């Protein structure tokens, strides 16, 4: 059984009052403390606007972030640092996952070997090799797989006329799609779904309890044992799935090691499901809040590719990420010295009024620009998978459940800070 995740109930149609509290705060530290606190952040975006106005490059001592780290909320700053070779992901940014401080926990070992947290030159080598596995042949089946999974999930609830959009659709959908793209056996899907859930819950340092951490470690052990056996089988009898491509990818320095392949498989499952699930949940909330745009999209499927970009901008699932600064960076006269940590506020950057007029409005005709997949050296490797999955899911929902609408006036938002999305969103249809 899944461990429970904490959530917070929110109005689906909030009043303008919700924006009021942020406006009254003059201390950036207090604004940031609210932002990091699920009980206080409410609608979130008013706090980003306030922090951007008060201190767009803000050095903080607030609990929950590395002391003295800089928080960036302007598009141009986030973009510049994301593209800069002076700021890197690094094993030190994975230290937050070393829950018991020994460096020995199974969860920490898998995370610190994941490409995202490797030292720069190793990261670049692993990334190049993994990119080679994302061949057109390996990812071509995704659209059909995604369509099949979306329809399977809708088949299971269609006659009920109601569902929890997250639990019944948005969460299992990308997870099953990536498992099938990797060629994992169907009979392992439900075990992997449990590991994926537990592993992910241990990855949010702000909300991890001892039970969540223990289950995260157990999931890492389960993953490792399973993939060791699975890779043996794939080596003996490779197929045309993404796992076989990963094993075969080689450059002049050779192929990925067994540990690197396993950490990559875990990363692809983990980075490839919560993110898209949360994005779909946020997209649905955003569309419910903008009924005219919702109606336009439902009637004109041709708008889907462009609408997907605006939905990614409007309320992204990966709200922030960390970088370690290797060489001094100066942003608008503020010196960020080597050794500092920086928080890249992707969600805040996506609502920067300097780039997006009327940023809090969902506008499906807007120019497709956002930082939801980051930019530069760590630009999301799964961006085209995610885009395909989002478009396919919305198309299937609008075709099969054209009268889909909210059931009730609220939903449950996840407690997490780095990842944002609903935990429960009740919907109904005729
Ligand atoms: C809406 C869905 C998604 C969003 C918003 C998203 C966002 C991101 C972001 C912001 C990063 C950069 C992290 C950083 O700054 O440190 C990233 C990296 C990454 N993403 Fe995604 N992602 C999504 C879906 C996916 C999918 C479906 C996959 C694969 C199946 C995937 C695989 C990865 C990988 C492997 C990296 C690491 C790249 C590297 O270290 O060079 N993502 N993603």
pLDDT tens-digit readout, 267-301: 999 999 999 999 999 999 999 999 999 999 999 99
Return the residue whose CA atom lies nearest to atom 42 of ligand 1: 382
Residue 429 to residue 158: CA distance in whole angstroms: 9
Burial 93-104 (b: 16+ CB within 10 A, else e): bbbbbbbeeeee
pLDDT tens-digit readout, 144-155: 999 999 999 999
User: Which atom from ligand 1 is nearest to the alpha carbon of 93?
Assistant: 16
pLDDT tens-digit readout, 375-420: 999 999 999 999 999 999 999 999 999 999 999 999 999 988 899 9
CATH of 7-428, one of 3.40.630.30, 1.10.150.120, 1.10.630.10, 3.30.70.260: 1.10.630.10
Give the per-residue pLDDT at 50. Answer: 97
pLDDT at residue 136 above 90? no
Sheet holding 7-11, edge to edge: 7-11, 410-414, 422-424
Best residue among 275, 319, 341 to mutate for probing ligand 1's pocket (most ligand atoms within 8 Å of CB) is: 275
The burial of 178, by beta-carbon neighbours within 10 Å (0-12 exposed, 13-18 middle, 19 or more buried), is given as buried
Return the residue whose CA atom lies nearest to atom 18 of ligand 1: 380
Contact 202, 216 (CB under 8 A): yes
Please report, for the chain, the start and end positions of each structural domain, with discontinuous segments joined by +.
7-428
Give the per-residue pLDDT at 4. Answer: 67
Best residue among 149, 261, 271 to mutate for probing ligand 1's pocket (most ligand atoms within 8 Å of CB) is: 271
CB atoms within 10 A of CB 372: 23
Best residue among 308, 380, 387, 419 to mutate for probing ligand 1's pocket (most ligand atoms within 8 Å of CB) is: 380
Q: Using the mean position of ligand 1's atoms as its centre, give its distance from the Cα of residue 383 in Å.
A: 7
Q: Report the pLDDT averaged over residues 318-342.
A: 95
pLDDT at residue 65 above 60? yes
Give the per-residue pLDDT at 162. Answer: 98
Q: Using the mean position of ligand 1's atoms as its centre, give its distance from the Cα of residue 428 in Å.
A: 31
Q: Report the pLDDT averaged over residues 8-19.
A: 82
- pLDDT-derived band at 94, boundaries 50, 70, 90: confident
Contact 377, 85 (CB under 8 A): yes
pLDDT at residue 339 above 60? yes
User: Which atom from ligand 1 is nearest to the alpha carbon of 316?
Assistant: 5
Pairing relationship of beta strands 162-164 and 422-424 according to DSSP bridges: unpaired
Q: Report the pLDDT averaged over residues 106-120.
A: 89
Q: Using the mean position of ligand 1's atoms as its centre, give its distance from the Cα of residue 116 in Å.
A: 9
User: Which atom from ligand 1 is nearest to the alpha carbon of 82?
Assistant: 15
Q: Using the mean position of ligand 1's atoms as its centre, give its distance from the Cα of residue 429 in Å.
A: 32
What distance lies between CA 428 and its chain's CA centroid? 26
In whole numbers, what is the pLDDT of the chain averaged over residues?
93
Give the per-residue pLDDT at 19. Answer: 65
- pLDDT-derived band at 103, boundaries 50, 70, 90: confident
Return the residue whose CA atom lies nearest to atom 3 of ligand 1: 275
Q: Report the pLDDT averaged over residues 159-179.
A: 97
Q: What residues are in contact with ligand 1 under a 6 Å CB criterion?
A: 89, 115-116, 127, 178, 267-268, 271-272, 275-276, 279, 316-318, 321, 346, 372-374, 378, 380-382, 385-386
% of the chain exceeding 70 in pLDDT:
98
User: Which atom from ligand 1 is nearest to the alpha carbon of 278?
Assistant: 1
Structure tokens at 371: 């930082």
pLDDT at residue 16 above 70? no
The one-character DSSP state at 359 is T
- pLDDT-derived band at 32, boundaries 50, 70, 90: very high
User: Which atom from ligand 1 is nearest to the alpha carbon of 371?
Assistant: 10
Q: Using the mean position of ligand 1's atoms as its centre, give its distance from the Cα of residue 396 in Å.
A: 24
């Amino acid at each position: 059984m899944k461990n429970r995740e904490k959530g917070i109930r929110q109005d689906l149609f909030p009043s303008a009052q919700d924006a009021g509290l942020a406006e009254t705060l003059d201390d950036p530290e207090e604004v940031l403390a609210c932002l990091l606190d699920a009980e206080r952040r409410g609608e979130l975006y008013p706090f980003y606007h306030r922090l951007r106005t008060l201190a767009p490059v803000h050095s903080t001592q607030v609990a929950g972030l590395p002391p003295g780290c800089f928080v960036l909320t302007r598009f141009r700053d986030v973009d510049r640092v994301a593209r800069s070779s002076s700021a890197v992901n690094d094993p030190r940014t994975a230290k937050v996952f070393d829950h018991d401080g020994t460096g020995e926990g199974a969860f920490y070992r898998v995370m610190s070997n994941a490409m995202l947290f490797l030292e720069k030159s190793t990261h670049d080598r692993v990334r190049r090799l993994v990119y080679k596995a994302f061949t057109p042949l390996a990812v071509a089946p995704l659209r059909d797989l995604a369509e099949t999974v979306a329809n399977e999930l809708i088949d299971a609830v269609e006659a009920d006329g109601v569902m929890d959009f997250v639990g019944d659709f948005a969460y299992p959908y990308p997870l099953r799609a990536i498992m099938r793209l990797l060629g994992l056996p169907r009979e392992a899907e439900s075990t992997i779904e449990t590991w994926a859930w537990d592993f992910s819950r241990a990855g949010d340092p702000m909300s991890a309890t001892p039970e969540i951490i223990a289950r995260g470690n157990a999931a890492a052990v389960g993953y490792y044992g399973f993939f060791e056996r699975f890779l043996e089988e794939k080596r003996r009898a490779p197929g045309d799935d993404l796992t076989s491509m990963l094993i075969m990818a080689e450059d002049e320095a050779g192929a990925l090691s067994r540990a690197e392949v396993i950490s990559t498989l875990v990363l692809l499952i983990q980075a490839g499901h919560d993110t898209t699930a949360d994005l779909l949940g946020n997209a649905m909330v955003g569309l419910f809040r903008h009924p005219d745009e919702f109606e336009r999209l439902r009637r004109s499927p041709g708008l889907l590719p462009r609408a997907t970009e605006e939905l990614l901008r409007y309320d992204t699932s990966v709200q922030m990420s960390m970088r370690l600064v290797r060489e001094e960076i100066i942003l608008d006269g503020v010196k960020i010295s080597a050794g500092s940590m920086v928080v890249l506020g992707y969600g805040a950057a996506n609502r920067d009024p300097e780039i997006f007029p009327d940023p809090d409005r969902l506008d499906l005709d807007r120019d497709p620009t956002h930082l939801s997949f980051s930019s530069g050296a760590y630009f999301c490797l799964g961006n085209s998978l995610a885009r395909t999955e989002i478009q396919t899911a919305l198309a299937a929902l609008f075709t099969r459940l054209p009268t889909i609408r909210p059931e009730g006036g609220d939903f449950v938002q996840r407690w997490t800070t780095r990842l944002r999305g609903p935990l429960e969103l009740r919907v109904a249809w005729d």
